[in-house]
C-alpha cells in the first residue's frame, strides 16, 4: 500500500494497525516513533488563523505542552505576529506549502517553489525541518524534492478534522483512545469552523496528562527516540 493511500485511510483505521502498515511503505516519512517515554506529538495543520491559533496557544500554555504547527504560506502573510508567538512560546514551525490545496497535483517545479517560499517566510522565526503535503497525499518524488531542501515529510497515525458540526464533540474521545507513546496526531485549524479544535486539544491534553503522556514538538519526539537508541 502506498504512503498516499495510507494517509487517506488513517482517519478510519486503528493506530496500532497503521503503525504496522507504515513499515511496508518504502519512503522516508515520519509516521510515529517507538518510545518507552510518555511523549507524543500534537501537530496542527492549515494555520495560522487570527482567532483559532491564539486559542490553541492558550490551551497549550495552560497544559505546559508543545506542538508543531504546519503553516500555510498564504495565511502566514498578515499573521506574522501569531507566527512569532508560536515560535516564542517554544512550539515548532513547519511547512504546509503556500495554499490549502492537494500538493500531489502540483508539478514538481511548482511544488519546489512553494516549499522554498514557505520555508523562506518561516525561517526568520526559527528553523524549519518538516513539511506535510496538502491533503496528506505524498509521493516518492515529493519526498525526494523536499529532502534536497533539508525537509523531511511528517504525517501521522491519528488524524482528526474539525468541521463545526456535531461530530466535533466526539473527536476528543476518539483521540484519547488512539494516542499512545510516540504517536503523531494530526489536527486541523486555520478557519472559523474549526474553533472547536481548541476545546478538543484541551480535553485531550487534560486526559492524557492524567495518564502520564505529554505533547512535545516533532523534533523533540525524534530526539527522544535518538536518546533511547530505538528505531
Given a contact cutoff of 8 angstroms between Cβ atoms, the answer to whether 185 and 40 are in contact is yes
Among residues 49, 96, 162, 188, the one annotated as catalytic is: 188
Whether 188 is catalytic: yes
Q: Which residues of 211-224 are buried (b: 16+ CB within 10 A; e: fewer)?
A: eebbbbbbbbbbeb
Among residues 20, 45, 91, 210, the one annotated as catalytic is: 45
Q: Enumerate the active-site residues.
A: 45, 188
Amino acid at each position: 500500500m502506498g504512503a498516499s493511500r495510507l494517509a487517506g485511510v488513517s482517519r478510519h483505521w486503528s493506530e496500532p494497525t497503521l503503525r504496522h502498515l507504515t513499515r511496508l511503505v518504502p519512503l522516508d516519512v515520519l509516521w510515529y516513533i517507538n518510545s518507552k517515554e510518555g511523549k507524543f506529538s500534537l501537530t496542527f495543520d492549515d494555520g495560522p488563523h487570527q482567532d483559532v491559533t491564539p486559542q490553541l496557544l492558550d490551551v497549550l500554555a495552560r497544559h505546559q505542552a508543545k506542538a508543531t504547527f504546519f503553516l500555510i504560506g498564504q495565511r502566514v502573510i498578515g499573521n506574522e505576529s501569531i507566527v512569532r508567538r508560536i515560535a516564542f512560546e517554544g512550539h515548532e514551525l513547519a511547512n504546509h506549502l503556500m495554499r490549502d490545496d492537494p500538493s500531489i497535483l502540483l508539478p514538481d517545479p511548482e511544488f519546489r517553489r512553494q516549499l522554498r517560499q514557505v520555508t523562506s517566510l518561516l525561517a526568520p522565526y526559527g528553523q524549519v525541518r518538516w513539511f506535510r503535503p496538502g491533503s496528506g497525499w505524498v509521493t516518492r518524488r515529493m519526498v525526494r524534492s523536499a529532502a534536497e531542501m533539508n525537509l523531511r515529510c511528517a504525517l501521522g497515525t491519528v488524524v482528526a478534522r474539525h468541521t463545526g458540526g456535531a461530530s466535533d464533540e466526539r473527536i476528543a474521545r476518539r483521540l484519547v483512545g488512539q494516542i499512545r507513546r510516540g504517536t503523531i496526531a494530526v489536527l486541523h485549524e486555520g478557519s472559523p469552523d474549526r474553533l472547536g479544535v481548541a476545546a478538543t486539544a484541551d480535553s485531550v491534553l487534560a486526559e492524557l496528562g492524567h495518564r502520564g503522556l505529554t505533547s512535545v514538538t516533532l523534533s523533540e519526539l525524534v530526539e527522544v527516540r535518538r536518546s533511547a537508541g530505538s528505531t
